[in-house]
Amino acid sequence: MIEIKNVSKSFGGNEILIDINAVMETGKTNLIIGTSGSGKTVLQKCMVGLFEVDKGDILFDGKDLTTMSEEDRKELRQQIGMLFQGSALFDSMTVEDNVKFPLDMFTKWSHAKKIERVNDVLERVNLKDTNSRFPAEISGGMKKRVGIARAIVLKPKYLFCDEPNSGLDPQTSMVIDKLIHEITKENNMTTIINTHDMNSVMEIGENILYLYNGKKEWEGTSKEIIFSKHDKLNEFIFASEFLRDAKDMRMLEEKGIIDNDRNMEEIMRDGGANLVMGDEDKEPE
Amino acid sequence: MNIFSTIGAYLSMMKGMFTKPENFKMYWKELMHQSVEIGFGSLGIVAVISIFMGAVSAVQTAYQLASPLLPRETIAQIVRDTVILEFAPTLVCIVLAGVVGSKIAGELGNMRVSEQIDALEIMGINTRNYLVMPKILGALITIPLLVILSMVLGIYGGRLAGTLGGILSGATYDRGLMENFIPKNVWFALAKAYTFAFIISSVSSFYGYNVKGGALEIGRASTTAVITSCILILFADYILAFFLL
């Protein structure tokens, strides 16, 4: 579990994070959402110790990162895996060497054992037979999967993902989301994802933190987002008409008014169209 | 950044390099890799420059010493001393500031911009120690060796140009090389080579490591690294000549 207590951060007089409080729970995919420039990446970088906070505490299972000695911080960082927006793979190394790098650096395992572990994680992210390829020779989605493999190879307790879907097509995005979600459950990790991908919010958002201009504006689950009356959040999440319609449909589905298995013709015949387009809080007769 | 904060940031990077390596074997591997990159990677250009440098200085010295009163051996002596004292350490290092310096700054800049340095930091690796230190040590190992090679090839280039151009015979050139040789000059040249190697590698690493932005900034960092290295090399050259000769 990661607890963020009264965290503030500014750069040259610009307040980027203002008094943020949040709890990132173990075994859950915790999402930080917000518009570009809202402070998501800065918050995540503060959480992994790449930026020092101006004020506040960041507790990893009770241990405060902000007051830790350099040695303790090093130890903690070996329990942290991170997937970067651009994957951050080492260009000069093959896929296998990229994934093996943390093992080379921090374990005294035999070469055979390291290769076995590398093959296991590559298989887990559905990347068999890519060991000898270089990052420049694989697609964006594959790079993300190699990034995930490298992040989890040391079996970390905490997984940070910075916009894992950026630059990916919707289908690949969903594959990556599903993979991160499954890995979180399998390893009982505390996963923190920065995103502004609405599919991710709705599909894997178990605990969602909404930032607006550096402040925490809202916190809840993907189900709660559907019913939220928070204007800024609704403007951000359901920005297009299509998404607003989708929200209405999901809301009706959640209330049991419509059934996903029924076809649209049947729903319309039963007056579903009025429900969708009209008063969303109206209960069926 | 003003000059004082730049110097402060440079010294802070230097100080941050000296920590215990996380895994000595990996650091050794990186040191060897950097030594090969810097040393073997620059071998060709150093060889070509050195031979022509010696050849041109032989021809020009012969042109300037046209007097029949001066023995021909003097040409060899002048070529030898100018190559050892100035051309091999200074000229070659200025070329290396361009070749090696831009490579180091570009490589680190690209790693910074593509978040590879952040990825290493998050793993708990001291990147100044893992990325910068091997580059500086690699340069300190290989650049003086390149300078020694340059001295040999430069002097040989002078002999080649002298004999092929009919300026003096090989035997006369060799005799001239043996006359009035001062071994201290070689040590002085090596002192310069070590100083310049440190300047090239540390300054380029500093500018590359601290890149902020994108591709444009990587290019700017490389250019700044080369220009700063060249100026510092010339400045150090003067200081060393003033105090050591």
Sign of CA dihedral A80, A84, A90, A96: positive
Q: Rounded distance, CA A194 to CA A192, Å?
A: 7
* B123 chain-A contacts, CB cut-off 8 A: 77-78, 101-102, 105-106
Query: What is the per-residue pLDDT across A130-187, written as a single tens digit (0 to 9) for each?
Result: 999 999 999 988 999 999 999 999 999 999 999 888 888 888 888 888 989 999 999 8
Query: 10-residue block means of pLDDT along chain B (245 residues)?
Result: 88 90 90 94 95 95 84 92 94 96 96 94 92 96 96 96 92 93 94 97 96 91 96 96 88
Cβ atoms of residues A163 and A169 within 8 Å: no
Question: Could you say which residues from 116 to 135 on chain B have a Cβ atom under 8 Å away from some Cβ of chain A?
Answer: 116, 118-119, 121-125
**Residue B200: how many CA atoms within 13 Å on its side-chain side?**
33
Residue A210: φ, ψ to 5°: -105, 120
Which carries the bigger pLDDT value, residue B173 or residue A256? B173
Query: Hunting for tokens 């890799």 — which residue is that?
Result: B33
B9 domain residue, yes or no: no
B6 domain residue, yes or no: no
pLDDT given for residue A285 in this prediction: 40
A283: confidence class by pLDDT, cuts 50, 70, 90: very low
CATH of domain A2-228: 3.40.50.300
Question: Is residue B20 within 8 angstroms of chain A, CB to CB?
Answer: no
Report the domain count for chain B.
1
Q: Rounded distance, CA A2 to CA A193, Å?
A: 13
pLDDT given for residue A274 in this prediction: 53
Q: Rounded distance, CA B7 to CA A184, Å?
A: 45
pLDDT given for residue A275 in this prediction: 52
Are A78 and B121 inside 8 Å of each other by CB? no
Q: Is the pLDDT of residue A279 over 70?
A: no
* B121 chain-A contacts, CB cut-off 8 A: 50, 77
Cβ atoms of residues B71 and B174 within 8 Å: no
B84 domain residue, yes or no: yes
Residue A15: φ, ψ to 5°: -80, 115
Question: Is residue B245 within 8 angstroms of chain A, CB to CB?
Answer: no
Q: What domain range includes position B195?
A: 24-244
Which helix (H) or strand (E) segment holds residue B235: the answer is helix B215-244
Beta-ladder partners of A159: A81, A191
Query: Domain coordinates of chain A in residue numbers?
Result: 2-228, 240-270
Which carries the bigger pLDDT value, residue A279 or residue A41? A41
Q: Is B52 exposed, middle or buried (0-12, 13-18, 19+ CB in 10 A)?
A: middle
DSSP A284: P
- Work out whether strand A158-162 and strand A207-212 pair parallel, antiparallel, or are unpaired: unpaired
B88 domain residue, yes or no: yes
Those residues with Cβ within 8 angstroms of residue A159's Cβ, 6 or more apart along the chain or in another chain: A80, A81, A82, A83, A151, A152, A180, A183, A184, A189, A190, A191, A192
Question: Is residue A51 within 8 angstroms of chain B, CB to CB?
Answer: no
The average confidence (pLDDT) of chain A is 85
Question: Is residue B215 within 8 angstroms of chain A, CB to CB?
Answer: no
Residue A139 structure tokens: 């697609």
Sort residue A155 into left (φ over 0), alpha (ψ -120 to 50) or beta.
left
For chain A, report the end-to-end CA distance as a whole number of angstroms: 44
A17: confidence class by pLDDT, cuts 50, 70, 90: very high
pLDDT given for residue A197 in this prediction: 82
pLDDT given for residue A281 in this prediction: 46
List helix spans (H) across chain A: 40-47, 70-77, 95-106, 111-124, 140-152, 170-187, 198-204, 222-227, 231-237, 241-254, 264-269, 272-277
Q: Rounded distance, CA A278 to CA B110, Å?
A: 53
B211 domain residue, yes or no: yes
* B119 chain-A contacts, CB cut-off 8 A: 82, 84, 88, 90
B10 domain residue, yes or no: no
Q: Beta-carbon neighbour count of residue A49 at 10 Å?
A: 21
Question: Could you say which residues from 137 to 166 on chain B have a Cβ atom under 8 Å away from some Cβ of chain A?
Answer: none
DSSP A48: T
Cβ atoms of residues A149 and A124 within 8 Å: yes
Task: Calculate the CA dihedral of residues A72, A78, A83, A86 and round it to 10 degrees.
Answer: 80
Cβ atoms of residues A82 and A151 within 8 Å: yes
Sort residue A39 into left (φ over 0), alpha (ψ -120 to 50) or beta.
left
B228 domain residue, yes or no: yes
pLDDT given for residue B188 in this prediction: 94
